[in-house]
């Protein structure tokens, strides 16, 4: 699969420089287009997997109460990751999920916040190890990482905050695909694995302590 950046939904600047991903995302957010998962996938074309997963997993990556909506996002991420593992080129979601609105929490708070964070990464990020992102095997591996990290976040003890690091790892991995930056990919894997390790250790201790109370 050719993972090079697809033709953008928004034109390049007058100077001919490509539009930054953060600017594209902001343009989509402030446009009149419906803020659904289906619309998001249509706008960002071949990057639809990475962009959708980035936005889905950024919500559980926030150290803030999310009223359980993150579990839905994590389940959808697992489904999308499995599609990458199977080598799908286009994103598929059930009709009900395609039409699901991202919600005010995501569009009103999470997305503006993630756009600012993406711009921070874009300041120092540049294409590195781009050859990795042009191999189907890399995307299969990335899909497996999405599945593992989303599953870890989903199974982390409730209200423990341990889902934050696995979710952040998935966000960084998705951003690395969009920016074609191997350094960001490595950072995402490291952050995600640290999060999984914390869930296996601290999370297990929390579960053991709660069980001992009964």
pLDDT range class, residue 185, cuts 50, 70, 90: very high
Tell how many helices (H) and how many strands (E) occur in the chain: 11, 0
1 within domain boundaries: no
Q: What is the mean pLDDT of residues 163-192?
A: 94
Closest CA to 38 of 88, 82, 102: 102
CB 122 within 8 Å of CB 80: no
7 within domain boundaries: no
**pLDDT tens-digit readout, 19-67:** 788 888 888 888 877 778 788 777 777 688 898 899 889 888 877 655 5
53 within domain boundaries: yes
196 within domain boundaries: yes
60 within domain boundaries: yes
CB 119 within 8 Å of CB 20: yes
- Per-residue CA distances from 88 to 37, 70, 92, 105, 175 (Å): 17, 25, 9, 30, 19
Total tally of structural domains belonging to the chain? 1
154 within domain boundaries: yes
172 within domain boundaries: yes
Give the C-alpha separation, 188 to 105, whole Å. Answer: 24
Give the C-alpha separation, 37 to 125, whole Å. Answer: 27
């Amino acid at each position: 699969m050719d993972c090079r950046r697809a033709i953008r939904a928004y034109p390049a600047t007058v100077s001919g420089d490509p539009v930054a991903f953060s600017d594209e995302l902001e343009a989509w957010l402030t446009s009149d287009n419906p803020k659904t998962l289906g619309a998001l996938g249509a706008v960002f074309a071949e990057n639809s997997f990475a962009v959708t997963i980035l936005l889905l997993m950024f919500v559980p990556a926030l150290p803030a109460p999310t009223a359980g909506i993150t579990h839905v996002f994590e389940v959808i991420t697992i489904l999308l990751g499995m599609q990458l593992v199977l080598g799908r080129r286009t994103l598929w979601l059930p009709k009900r999920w395609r039409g699901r609105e991202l919600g005010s929490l995501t569009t009103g708070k999470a997305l503006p916040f993630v756009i600012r964070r993406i711009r921070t990464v874009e300041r120092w990020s540049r294409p590195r190890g781009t050859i990795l992102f042009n191999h189907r095997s890399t995307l299969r591996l990335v899909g497996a990482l999405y599945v593992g990290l989303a599953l870890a976040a989903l199974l982390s003890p409730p209200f423990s905050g341990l889902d934050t690091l696995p979710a952040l790892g998935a966000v960084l991995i998705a951003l690395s695909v969009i920016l074609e930056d191997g350094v960001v990919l490595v950072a995402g894997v490291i952050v995600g694995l640290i999060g999984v390790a914390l869930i296996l250790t601290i999370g297990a201790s929390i579960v053991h302590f709660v069980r001992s109370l009964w």
